[in-house]
Amino acid sequence: MRHSIENVEATDKLQATGNLGPAVVQALLDAGFTVTALTRIDSKSSVLPGAKVHKTDYSSIETIAEAFKGQDAVVSTLATAALGQQQTIVDAAIKAGVKRFIPSEFGMDTTTIEGGAKKILGAKIALQGVLAKAAEENKGFSWTGISTGMFFDWGLKVGSIGFSLPTKTATIWDSGDEPFTGSNLAFIGQAIASVLKHPEETANKYIKVASFVTTQNEVLALLEEESGTKWTVVNKKTADSEKLGEEKLARGDYSAFGDFLKPLLFGDGIGAARKVGQLSNEELGLPKEDLKKTIKAALA
Ligand SMILES: NC(=O)c1ccc[n+]([C@@H]2O[C@H](COP(=O)([O-])OP(=O)(O)OC[C@H]3O[C@@H](n4cnc5c(N)ncnc54)[C@H](OP(=O)(O)O)[C@@H]3O)[C@@H](O)[C@H]2O)c1
């Protein structure tokens, strides 16, 4: 079975490796899309079986456009460090007559982000302007930006939301009671597939989805309950994290992004989840996710 965008047989091109890519490929295959993955010529990553593979050096609009011929949609899951290349990919998509471009967003709402994080994600923000202009100027071309909050199940494993599973240590920022949004990788894949199945409702929009709205303290309580033990808690101040981020950025160290995220997500009173506003979960028919089950799976 194949689903369609604007009643045309749908196929998709995407970067299909890395942290998010495989979940996206899986969700698109599961939804019945024909998937072709773009991957670098010298990439060591492998693409999930079921997707076709197209090797590229991303060197010119023409060669990428050749790869995009006949595709209805392009989903970019390019690495943050490679986001500067997306402009060429957009130009190639337009040249090839692609109907929908989904840029590599998949994080905090970059339409409202502030401070040092905004500087680091400048390429994502700049591309939104490029896409809006391209949609105005090219009939048939459209885009959808998708903000997901933190990668949640991935973040639990790599420690990006403050928890170290191997050492059972929680780093709690400020009070730990500030609500933030997060999405599991498979859920993000499903959101992308659903956007492509709802082309009209999602055209030329920046939407937000999330598996959960939660707090660090709620996650900690569930981790303790599910692991059957008390965790070591380290309390930190988001103001200190922001300061550290500024120091790192001043010396050109972009790992500062992680430090800037702490106040934006966990800072007392910052209202990260409130600022996200209306989620599109329901409109996209996304499944209800279970926080406890996600935590149990991460611990297993
Ligand atoms: N919300 C969150 O918590 C969170 C966390 C992480 C990432 N993100 C966002 O999600 C998106 C995808 O991130 P990710 O972590 O999945 O990316 P990633 O794993 O770092 O990289 C994805 C793919 O990009 C390709 N790539 C890497 N460097 C490249 C280069 N210099 N030129 C061309 N291609 C390159 C590689 O594909 P090949 O090897 O196949 O060529 C790689 O597998 C980004 O926008 C990122 O900012 C969000």
For the segment 223-263, what is each residue's pLDDT rounded down to a tens digit? 999 999 999 999 999 999 999 999 999 999 999 999 999 99
Total number of domains in the chain: 2
- The residues, ordered by sequence, that sit 6+ positions from 243 with a Cβ below 8 Å of its Cβ are none
DSSP-derived secondary structure for 17-58 = -TTTHHHHHHHHHHTT-EEEEEEETT----PPTTSEEEEE--
Provide the 10 A C-beta neighbour count for residue 50.
Answer: 13
Assess whether the C-beta atom of 82 lies below 6 angstroms from ligand 1: yes
Residues 119 and 253 sit within 8 Å (Cβ to Cβ): no
**Same domain membership, residue 101 and residue 27:** yes
Q: Is 57 a member of any domain?
A: yes
d(CA 22, CA 17): 6
Domain around 92: 10-147+183-208
Q: Provide the whole-model pTM.
A: 0.94
**Same domain membership, residue 265 and residue 222:** yes
**Same domain membership, residue 217 and residue 160:** yes
pLDDT at 1: 25
Q: What is the CATH number of the domain that holds 89?
A: 3.40.50.720
Residues 260 and 116 sit within 8 Å (Cβ to Cβ): yes
Q: Is 5 a member of any domain?
A: no
**Spatial strand order in the sheet of 100-102:** 52-56, 34-40, 11-15, 73-75, 100-102, 142-147, 205-208
For the segment 64-92, what is each residue's pLDDT rounded down to a tens digit? 999 899 999 999 999 998 998 899 999 99
Q: Assess whether pLDDT exceeds 90 at residue 15.
A: no
- Ligand 1 nearest-atom number relative to CA 38: 40
Tokens (6 digits) for 120: 């680091």
Assess whether the C-beta atom of 294 lies below 6 angstroms from ligand 1: no
For the segment 16-55, what is each residue's pLDDT rounded down to a tens digit? 678 999 999 999 999 999 999 999 999 888 878 888 989 9
Residues 14 and 24 sit within 8 Å (Cβ to Cβ): yes
- The residues, ordered by sequence, that sit 6+ positions from 223 with a Cβ below 8 Å of its Cβ are 163, 168, 170, 231, 295, 299
Q: 114 by DSSP, 3-state: which?
A: coil
The distance from CA 138 to its chain's CA centroid, rounded to whole angstroms, is 26
Q: Is 1 a member of any domain?
A: no
**Same domain membership, residue 34 and residue 96:** yes
Assess whether the C-beta atom of 97 lies below 6 angstroms from ligand 1: no
For the segment 253-298, what is each residue's pLDDT rounded down to a tens digit? 999 999 999 999 999 999 888 888 899 999 999 999 999 999 999 9
Mean pLDDT of 152-166: 96
Assess whether the C-beta atom of 264 lies below 6 angstroms from ligand 1: no
Tokens (6 digits) for 45: 């990553």
Q: Is 134 a member of any domain?
A: yes
Assess whether the C-beta atom of 80 lies below 6 angstroms from ligand 1: yes
Q: Is 41 a member of any domain?
A: yes
**Same domain membership, residue 157 and residue 86:** no
**Same domain membership, residue 192 and residue 56:** yes
Which protein residue's CA is at the shortest distance from atom 33 of ligand 1? 82
- Return the CA Rg of the chain: 19
Q: How many residues does the chain have?
A: 300
pLDDT at 14: 56
Which protein residue's CA is at the shortest distance from atom 10 of ligand 1? 106
pLDDT at 256: 94
Residues 37 and 52 sit within 8 Å (Cβ to Cβ): yes
User: Which of 13, 19, 183 has most ligand 1 atoms within 8 Å of its beta carbon, as the pocket-test mutant?
Assistant: 19
**Same domain membership, residue 253 and residue 163:** yes
**Same domain membership, residue 28 and residue 95:** yes
Which residue, of 169, 193, 208, is where some domain finishes? 208
Q: Is 3 a member of any domain?
A: no
- Ligand 1 nearest-atom number relative to CA 148: 1
**Same domain membership, residue 203 and residue 70:** yes
Assess whether the C-beta atom of 15 lies below 6 angstroms from ligand 1: yes
Q: Is 220 a member of any domain?
A: yes
For the segment 106-158, what is each residue's pLDDT rounded down to a tens digit? 999 999 998 889 989 999 999 999 999 999 999 999 999 999 999 999 999 99
**Same domain membership, residue 230 and residue 95:** no
Q: What is the CATH number of the domain that holds 291?
A: 3.90.25.10
Q: Closest Cα partner for 112 from 256, 263, 275? A: 275
**Same domain membership, residue 222 and residue 107:** no
**Same domain membership, residue 262 and residue 155:** yes
User: Which of 15, 53, 86 has most ligand 1 atoms within 8 Å of its beta carbon, as the pocket-test mutant?
Assistant: 15
Task: Please state which of the ranges 113-117, 208-212, 217-221, 289-293 shows the lowest mean pLDDT.
Answer: 113-117
